[in-house]
Every structure is written in structure tokens, then in C-alpha cells.
Structure 1
């Protein structure tokens, strides 16, 4: 399927965020192959830590070992990936619930096969900023200022609003600026186009190492400072490999094999002995920050980023995200957290370890 066709379908479906075609490859393959048990299991990936589990499972041979004919397809834009998933051009896409919500609202059914990572967002400002660094005063200081997000209506946009509310600030009192891909954030901050930006913790790590930002809200450190409902959707399993429910229900044994492969990738990735090999693997696939050239520094980055790789999630985890996106008006479908999860998905770290054996 051509990228232009995917983009048109994304617009028609009312998906959230900007559709950026640059850097996206065509999913390819036929719908029949993607959703059958005999054709390849086509799995989306992109240059983020949320696709590392699938990449590791493929490169370390876990899929092959478990009898899964897997094929990785690079689709860098989440909206395009959701469209490819909904149309059957790929079998699995890693998504957060907001991206599949427009399709769920239209009656399409998706099942989360495994989790892929903890969903976390930080707020950073230029190092020279006069903002304090203690939350909530740090975020409250952004009243009347410009906050950069990838796109208006993106996941980061909604989290920024939640953080502002938690700090006692009306989101309408700030100006949100669409800054595009995260790779552009350092330049946007450095040139003063925004007063702060919302990014993921691994990106915060890179900018902190470069000494260019101060952190106003840390998903890792400040989660305990917000109310309990918001805390449930910060630093918890929130990114998932989604598949069409018809495929998941029609191929239960294949789903188990995929889950076992992903669990084995999870266990392998968290073994410190495999850090050099993981770093080399990701580097060869050009999935690591290009500006980090020192090998030891790259390993330190990977060691930090891999802490967010999580392939289990409980019904309570998913229900928290259902409630969050319903409260933001994106999810209107009558779904529950338990109903969105595969019945054979690992719900605890212990179950992931057992599943990997």
C-alpha cells in the first residue's frame, strides 16, 4: 500500500496528531498475509525504545526459535502505523491507547498482545530558564508561556495539560506550539522558540548529558507528587503491541508464541551481560542517538533507556489508561482494560519471566 493511501485513510479515520510522511516507509505486504496464520507476522518498529522488544526478538532469534515467521516493517509515524494495523497491512503495531481510540470509537476491535514499555513524559526548559525545578512550582511557572509538543493533539499535548492542571494552572493560559519530531526539540529550545517542551525520559537523559536543559517535571522523580489517578498513567506500562482482535482470537497458539518470544527478549534485554550486544545491535540499525558517538556513553544511554522496556501489564494498568483517555474525550467506545488485553498476556514481571522459559 502506498504511503499516500495510508495518509488519506488516517485523515478519514480522524486519527490524532500530524501525519509526517518524511522518514516513513511503506508497510508493504498484502492484508491477507498480514492477518493469516500462514503468512508472516508483520510487526512495526521505529527508532524508539518502545519497539526494542520486537527488534531484539527478531535479531536474537527468539521469534524463529518459537516458530514465529516474523517480519519487521519500519513505520516511524504512529498515525500511519495505526492505519496500517487497521487496514491489515501489518499484524502488530506498538501503540498507546490514544492512537487506536479513533478506530475503537468506530467499532473496530483491537487486542493488546504484549506491553512494550512504560509510558512517561517529562517537561524540560532551557538551562538558562528562570523556572524553579521543584514540582509543582516548576510547571506552575509556565503560565503564560510557550510549551513545545510534537503536534497539537499528540499524546505529549494531553500529558502537558494534565501536568499543568496538577500544578494548578489552567491549560488555556499557556500557548502550545507544534515543534515536530523530537529530534528538533534541542534546536527549538536553544533558539527560544518555546519556553519548555514535553519529551520522553530517554530524550531528557540525552539533553541533560549535553547540559542543555533543566527538568521541570520528571516522570520518574515527580510521579509521587501528582494525584493518584494521574500517577497511574505515568511511568506505568502504557505502550502495547496491538493486533486486530479477529487475528488474535483466530490464532491463539501463534499469539502465545509471539508472547513467549517478546518475553524472552525482555529478559535478555535486562541482563547486564547483554548490554554491549544490545548497544551494538541498536547502533547497527541506526536506532540510537547519532550525536552520542562514544561507545561507553552509548552503553550508558541504552542502560538507562532499557529500564523503561516493560512487556507485562495488568488489567488495572490498562483500565487507568482507558479512564485517562475517556476523561480527555478521545476514547468513547465501551471498552474495559481487561477486555483490551490478550487473555494470555503476562500481567506481572514474574509472569514475564515464567513465560520466557
Structure 2
């Protein structure tokens, strides 16, 4: 693949003003070849494009030396970026809005998932007589990490039933074997998590699914529109200072997304680390079929995605309610459009 990266102009923030079309490109090398990316639950399908870009050396092809640090959940990965130990986050888009509510400006620049892939379920053992969301009041709900996209999805579902986040107890259980053990041992009454964890629990007969966002149709039913999920985002200052690096990251991710569109199960198994499979290759491939539609085919943010995300947060999150959130500052398709014009799988 011939690598092309681009110099941005017009992205400079002057006196607090933002350009409506902040990025224009010309060829150029990455300003910063070493990039630290934080992710919360790298083994999940939610972040599969990141793993593909890494394992198939797409980042290296772009002249980047990427170091990926894995955390227990998206909220922890976010903290790494805010604290300065990570340049970029592979995480949920809604975190850019939560940050803006605190006057911290981060921008999404390539989408990994066009549906959240999060499954909300109750433990059949802990809640055998479950009838409605109202039964969850006062219960312990396992999420990857408090404040992560899993807790956001669960909070939104509960809010529609009139239950506040403070009416339940969110417990961080991670995104792998620990989450499965927490439910099986009775440490939690319900769980909001992702595949392959949820398919494993479902196949074992341990859970009753009450809300599912692994398909586009189910996502629109839950959220009322397109709900963007995993993405790469960085502070506006990083993007402004490193437009070529941002473009190179985008090129690699778009290439990974294109590869996934045509990858066979055999290709996938041969690429991801053995630990992702939870000891069951057939389970992993079955899970992949559940979430394949949720993967972005091209990295583009749907036009209504940011507003759907904001409405979701406003339904239950007091830090966002009433805040003047400017959605145009939270995302851009400019880098992806340039990548789509030049990058081949």
C-alpha cells in the first residue's frame, strides 16, 4: 500500500473560535511517530478494528510506532488521555461529550463501530423472577468500569423506566473472564457487557437478555437513531499540532475496517491473540456473527449519530443536562474522507 499522509490547515484554534471546516490536507510525514493509545477492554469486538490495525502492521505501514495500553474500561482509558499518559483513546464517542461538559475539548476522528454492541441482561440465578426493569432497583449491575459506555447504556435503559443511576449499584467487572466469574459467582445481579463475554453467558444459559444493541435495528429501537460507538478520539490540541499523525492513524484504522468487511472467520482467528477467544474458537466466531453488522464499514460518523449520543446522555446524566454542548466540536469526518480516497485494504 502506498502511504499518503496530509498536512492540515485551518485547524488552528484562535481566540476560542472554531473553523466550520477545520481540516484541509497536503502530503506530509507524521509529526509524532510514537503514539500512545489507551483502550478499555481491548479483547472486545467493540475495539476489534484497533487490534486488526495493530496485528496486521497497518500502523507501522503509516510510519507510526503505536503503544497500546489496555485498561479495565473506557472511563479508565479516558483518564489516561486527560492525565497526559496517552495521546489518543480508542473508546466510546459519548466520552467526548462528557468531556466537553467539563470544558475539555476532545474530538472523534475515525469511527470503529456504528452500533454499541452492548448487551444488558439479568442473572437467571440471582433474579429468577425478573419481570421488568423496575425489579433492578437496588440491585448490583456489573459493567466494564463505572462511567464507561456499558454503564451509560445501562443507565439509559434504566432511565426510560424511571430508575436513576443512583438507584442501582454499578460494579466494575472488566471485559473478560472476570466479568463472567462475577456473574456466575453471584457477585452481581445483572450485567451490561459486550461480546464475546455476553454470547458465552447466553450460551451457558446464565442470563436473560433485556436490551441488546448488537444490530443496527436493535440499536435504533433502544436509542431512537444511529448511536456511534467505539472510535479514536484525541484532544483538539493534539489534532491541531499533529494533523499528519492523526491522518496516519485514520488511514490505518480505515484499512483495518475495510479488511474486516471481507475477512473470513479463519482470517480473524489467525489474526487476534489467543486470549481473545476465551478458550473457545467456535464461541468467538459465533460472537463475531452477532456483532459484524455493528462494525463501521468505512469509519464515517453518521450525521445523526452525535445528536443521538447527546440525547442519550441528557436522559440521565446531570453533568450534561443544561450544558451548551457544541456537537460540531466533538467529531469530524475530514480525516476519514481523505483516507477513503487513498487507502486500500
Range into which the TM-score falls when normalised by the shorter chain: 0.7 to 0.9
User: Following the alignment from structure 1 to structure 2, what is the Cα–Cα distance between the partners of residues 152 and 41?
Assistant: 26
User: Following the alignment from structure 1 to structure 2, what is the Cα–Cα distance between the partners of residues 125 and 56?
Assistant: 32
Match of 1:309 among 281, 295, 313: 295
- SS of residue in 1 equivalent to 2:334: coil
Q: Do the aligned residues in 2 keep the contact of 1:346 with 1:355 (CA within 8 Å)?
A: no
Question: Structure 1's 338 and 314: CA in aligned 2 closer, same or farther, altered over 3 A?
Answer: farther
Partner of 1:238: 229
- SS of residue in 2 equivalent to 1:270: helix
Give runs of aligned pairs for residues 228-307 of structure 1, distance below 5 A: 230-232=223-225, 236-273=227-264, 275-284=265-274, 286=275, 288-292=276-280, 295-307=281-293
**Deviations 1:214-269, CA, capped at 9 Å, x for gaps:** 2122224754555xxx3336xx3222211121221233343333222211100101
Question: Structure 1's 201 and 47: CA in aligned 2 closer, same or farther, altered over 3 A?
Answer: closer
User: Following the alignment from structure 1 to structure 2, what is the Cα–Cα distance between the partners of residues 110 and 50?
Assistant: 20
User: Following the alignment from structure 2 to structure 1, what is the Cα–Cα distance between the partners of residues 301 and 135?
Assistant: 33
Partner of 1:329: 318
**Greater length-normalized contact order (CA 8 Å, ≥ 6 residues apart):** 2
Partner of 2:23: none
Question: Structure 1's 289 and 330: CA in aligned 2 closer, same or farther, altered over 3 A?
Answer: farther
Q: Do the aligned residues in 2 keep the contact of 1:139 with 1:163 (CA within 8 Å)?
A: no
Partner of 1:180: 173
User: Following the alignment from structure 1 to structure 2, what is the Cα–Cα distance between the partners of residues 44 and 314?
Assistant: 24
Partner of 1:40: 34
Deviation at 1:93, TM superposition (A): 0.9
Question: Structure 1's 298 and 172: CA in aligned 2 closer, same or farther, altered over 3 A?
Answer: closer
- Output the TM-score relative to the length of structure 1: 0.71
User: Following the alignment from structure 2 to structure 1, what is the Cα–Cα distance between the partners of residues 196 and 94?
Assistant: 21
Q: Do the aligned residues in 1 keep the contact of 2:140 with 2:169 (CA within 8 Å)?
A: yes
- SS of residue in 1 equivalent to 2:71: coil
- SS of residue in 1 equivalent to 2:135: coil
Between structures 1 and 2, the one with greater helix share: 1
**Deviations 1:84-111, CA, capped at 9 Å, x for gaps:** 3234432211122454456434433212
1:318 aligns with 2:309: no
1:86 aligns with 2:82: yes
1:68 aligns with 2:54: no
Partner of 2:343: 356
Deviation at 1:213, TM superposition (A): 1.9
